[in-house]
Amino acid sequence: MTAAAHRPATLEDVARAAGVSRSTASRVIAGTGFASPAARERVAAAADQLGYVPNPAARALVRGGGVRLVVAVAGPSAAVLDDPYVHRVVGSAARVCAPAAIGVALHWLPLSQPNSLDQLAGDGSVCGVVLVNTTEDLLDAVPRSLRGRVASIGIGSATIPSFDVDNGAGAEEVLRHLYAGGRRRIAMVTGPRWLPCSQRPVQEYRRLMRQAGLPERVLPGDFTAARGRTAAGEALRRWPDLDAVYAISDETAFGVIAALREGGVRVPGDVAVAGFDDIPLAGMTTPALTTASHPVGRIAAAAATAVLDRRPTAPVTLFPSALVARASA
């Protein structure tokens, strides 16, 4: 409670001030082991008199616990680290880690060399890893020594718990909504091909279209607004009778809408457009974007928590995708 000394107080300082040994002070502070009420009292008093804060690095060193949780993002280039989605994950993870005095680090995992995880595994200061944009290769390349302290936001495996949105169900819900609105010529702009978890919605789309006897119109995407613009042009050119576009990214959906309107196509009058994620601005635009909302923050928090707590986790934790019907579709 006192103004911080120039040098942070150590446990030794506290022990001396309380007139006990370092071990006793440690037991009291860490709340582990025995200590007489009297000792407890004096140590506590000394600690807050000195403004004592345990040094997590030292603690981690002796317990072998690590001090950093690494958010490892796979992608074609380091630019993936600039993605707002990634920032959201890092932000949520950082919040979850703060009470444990664990810091968060951000790493890029080049798609071409999945064994870059080895370095993280060999770093004793890394307490765990949260995988983002997980691929099969990546899953295979997770070193054994990382087992039990890795979680994946995306696909998982027998040994690596997965935390993800129920993509299939989400896609189905949006597509049924489009269908219920009378749309029959529905194109889809997908996520990147290398990203396994973005294949689910595509499968669902194909299944539903086939089932309804509707044409399958798939355009590869990359989650960007720019791709939305070009994809809209392509779609219009290839399929002039188009009456809906389903994009697996709100950013892309906005790109689609912009291009469509610039081309004189009314949204949703002529073509309905739906997105994916419900970013904060989705409800503020004109037309407001119909999309599916996903608890990205909660997913990231759950993954980070699983890694931190190191307790047995269900192999797959699915979070619900909720249709948010607005004006665009």
Task: For DNA, give the closer residue by CB, 2 or 112.
Answer: 2
Task: For DNA, give the closer residue by CB, 103 or 168.
Answer: 103
Task: For DNA, give the closer residue by CB, 33 or 215.
Answer: 33
Q: Is 41 in the site for DNA (CB under 7 A)?
A: no
DSSP string for 96-113: HHGGGT-EEEEEEEETT-
Contact 307, 151 (CB under 8 A): yes
For residue 192, the minimal CB distance to a copy of itself (Å) is 18
Q: Measuring CA to CA, how many Å separate 97 from each of 9, 103, 172, 304? A: 23, 7, 35, 8
First to last CA, the chain: 57
Q: Is 318 in the site for a copy of itself (CB under 8 A)?
A: no
Q: Is 158 in the site for a copy of itself (CB under 8 A)?
A: no
Please give the residues from 99 up to 158 whose contact with DNA meets the rule CB under 7 A.
124
145 Cβ contact partners less than 8 Å away, ≥ 6 residues apart: 121, 122
Q: Is 266 in the site for a copy of itself (CB under 8 A)?
A: no
Q: Is 49 in the site for DNA (CB under 7 A)?
A: no
For residue 126, the minimal CB distance to DNA (Å) is 12
Beta strands 150-153 and 162-165 are parallel
**Which window, 52-60, 76-84, 205-213, 312-320, contacts DNA (CB under 7 A)?**
52-60
How many residues of this chain bind a copy of itself (CB under 8 A)?
70
Q: Is 30 in the site for DNA (CB under 7 A)?
A: yes
Three-point CA angle 224, 228, 234, nearest 5°: 140
Q: Is 299 in the site for a copy of itself (CB under 8 A)?
A: no
Please give the residues from 197 up to 216 whose contact with DNA meets the rule CB under 7 A.
none
For residue 102, the minimal CB distance to DNA (Å) is 14
By a kind-dependent CB cut-off of 5 to 8 A, residue 23 interacts, out of DNA, a copy of itself, none, with DNA
Cα–Cα distance, 149 to 29 (Å, whole number)? 26
By a kind-dependent CB cut-off of 5 to 8 A, residue 184 interacts, out of DNA, a copy of itself, none, with none
Residue 283 phi/psi, 5-degree rounding, is -90, -5
Cα–Cα distance, 146 to 69 (Å, whole number)? 12
Cα–Cα distance, 196 to 71 (Å, whole number)? 18
Please give the residues from 89 up to 128 whose contact with a copy of itself meets the rule CB under 8 A.
90-91, 94-95, 97-98, 101-107, 118-119, 121-125
Beta strands 217-219 and 272-274 are unpaired
Contact 20, 41 (CB under 8 A): no
For residue 321, the minimal CB distance to a copy of itself (Å) is 20
Please give the residues from 9 up to 28 whose contact with DNA meets the rule CB under 7 A.
10-12, 20-24, 26-27
Nearest to 111 by CA among 88, 138, 130: 138
For residue 31, the minimal CB distance to DNA (Å) is 9
**6: DSSP letter:** S
For binding to DNA (CB under 7 A), which residues are involved?
7-8, 10-12, 20-24, 26-27, 29-30, 32-39, 52, 54-55, 58-59, 61-64, 124
